[in-house]
Structure 1
Amino acid sequence: MIERYSITATPEKISERFSVDVPDFFKPRYNACPTQLLPVITNSSPQGVSTFYWGTSPEWSKNKSLSEKIINTPVEYIADKPAIKKAMMKTRCIIPADGFYAWKKAGKKTFIPYRFICTDQEIFSFAGLWEEYEDTDGNEFHTFTIITTPANALVSSVYDRMPVILSRKDEAIWLNKESSESDLSSILKSYSAEKMNHYSVSPLISDSTADVPSLIRPAPAADQFGNLTLFD
């Protein structure tokens, strides 16, 4: 499961990269986590950045009878589950990012965090789906999920899944309301390993309350307890 990513660019850079209006309250995220309000660009409002909850809102996440936490949607589900295919045809979004994290299992209870970046795109995006919900009080809010695919050769050295990373051309297809099912399905694939890099980062990335610049910097390979390991 992909449960952490980063988007640390300035509002100006995001606006330039995606040709969108960015809210004044936007701030960098070095450790974007589920249930947080995070920036997305939807196919229904592609001219600006919206902020949706990743997976579900903090309130709903405490009550599984109201909503399950859905932070990732495997691409394989789209063909098998009619409701997800319907969502793909109607409620698509892209999620601006400049990196994502995955943990490498190095022992029974040892996991090493790594950050993955694209070498051909300083800022990129994940393919996603969004939904609108209404709580028991009648209040509406929006959520998003990141579509994942089997990992490429680089990512698979750490973890077996990765987000669907889009090129600029693919972003235009994903946000176009007129795109066909075959057009959309054709871009849901693993990003080229040759266009990516990765490095180990601080185990503090596991702390959902941590959100500081040092989290995206390379750090010696260490497990979740801060113990150095031989893995790199």
Structure 2
Amino acid sequence: MCGRYSLSKSKIELEERFQAEMLSDFKPRYNVAPTQLVPVITSGSPNGFSFFYWGITPEFGKNKPVSQKLINAKAETVDQKVSFKSSFQKRRCLVPADGFYEWKKLGKKTKIPYRFTLRDEELFSMAGIWEEYESVNGETQHTFLILTTNPNPIVSDVHDRMPVILSKELEKKWLDGYTSIDELKELLKPLSGDQMLSYSVSPLVNSVQNDTPAVMRKTSPMDQHGNYTLFG
């Protein structure tokens, strides 16, 4: 799954990379978590960033509280699931990021957080789908989820899933309403491992309350717990 990511670049960097207008008060994010309001780019508004909640309520489960929302969908079955089929066909989006986090399990209780980025640590986009629904208060809400796929060799050492990362050349195709289902499915492949790097980070990332550059800081796994035999 993909349960945390970072978007630590500036407003100007985001606007230049995606050729879309960002809110003037945008602030970099270092530890984006589900249920939060974050920027995406939709086919309906490709020239500006829209702010949607991360966590989608399927059409058959309207008015569910945030805690019951889904945050990911498997790329292999997204076009078959009743809960996602319509969004996949009609409501796709790009989810800007410059890294994502996963936790490597060591034993029953220990988990080491890792950050994954492109080799140049530049911005990229994750494939997403979005939904519009009515909240319990009668307000219209927009939410999204991130599509995941099998991991490449870089990610597989830590986790069994990774987000679908789209190359810059394929982003327009993903948003294009005329792209066929078969063509869309072909886009949902793991990004090559030779385009990525990973490193262990501070356990500060474990808490969603910590949204500072410190959570992205490279930290030796042995330093995280003061245990030099951890990887011994």
Report the residue type matching 1:150 in the other structure: N
Q: Is the counterpart of residue 200 in structure 1 residue 200 in structure 2?
A: yes
Aligned residues: 226
Q: Deviations over 1:207-228 (max 9, x none)?
A: 01100111112012159x8444
For residue 121 of structure 1, report the CA deviation from its aligned partner.
6.0
Structure 2: which 5+ residue stretches go unaligned? 58-62
Corresponding residue for 1:173?
A: 173
Q: Deviations over 1:156-195 (max 9, x none)?
A: 0000000000001111111112211112111001010010
Cα distance in 1 for partners of 2:181, 2:120 equals 27
**Does the Cα contact within 8 Å between 1:31 and 1:208 map onto a contact in 2?**
yes
Identity of aligned residues (%): 49
More deviation, 13-22/118-127: 118-127
For residue 80 of structure 1, report the CA deviation from its aligned partner.
3.0
SS in 2 for 1:14: helix
**Does the Cα contact within 8 Å between 1:9 and 1:28 map onto a contact in 2?**
yes
Cα distance in 1 for partners of 2:33, 2:220 equals 23
**Does the Cα contact within 8 Å between 2:174 and 2:184 map onto a contact in 1?**
yes
Structure 1: which 5+ residue stretches go unaligned? 58-62
CA RMSD in angstroms comes to 2.1
Report the residue type matching 2:211 in the other structure: D
Q: Deviations over 1:17-67 (max 9, x none)?
A: 00000111211110000011011001111110011111159xxxxx85687
Cα distance in 1 for partners of 2:156, 2:73 equals 18
SS in 1 for 2:172: helix
SS in 2 for 1:80: coil
Cα distance in 2 for partners of 1:2, 1:213 equals 20
Call closer, same or farther: CA 1:211–1:67 in 2, change over 3 Å. Answer: closer
Corresponding residue for 1:114?
A: 114
**Does the Cα contact within 8 Å between 1:112 and 1:222 map onto a contact in 2?**
no
**Does the Cα contact within 8 Å between 2:152 and 2:190 map onto a contact in 1?**
yes
Call closer, same or farther: CA 1:101–1:83 in 2, change over 3 Å. Answer: same
**Does the Cα contact within 8 Å between 2:55 and 2:66 map onto a contact in 1?**
no
Q: How does 1:46-65 map to 2 (within 5 A)?
A: 46-55=46-55
For residue 197 of structure 1, report the CA deviation from its aligned partner.
0.3
**Does the Cα contact within 8 Å between 1:7 and 1:30 map onto a contact in 2?**
yes
Q: How does 1:8-157 map to 2 (within 5 A)?
A: 8-55=8-55, 68-119=68-119, 122-157=122-157
**Does the Cα contact within 8 Å between 1:103 and 1:113 map onto a contact in 2?**
yes
Q: How does 1:210-225 map to 2 (within 5 A)?
A: 210-221=210-221
Report the residue type matching 1:169 in the other structure: E
For residue 78 of structure 1, report the CA deviation from its aligned partner.
1.5
Report the residue type matching 1:84 in the other structure: F
**Does the Cα contact within 8 Å between 1:125 and 1:165 map onto a contact in 2?**
yes
Cα distance in 1 for partners of 2:227, 2:28 equals 28
**Does the Cα contact within 8 Å between 1:201 and 1:217 map onto a contact in 2?**
yes
Report the residue type matching 2:71 in the other structure: I
Cα distance in 2 for partners of 1:227, 1:102 equals 21
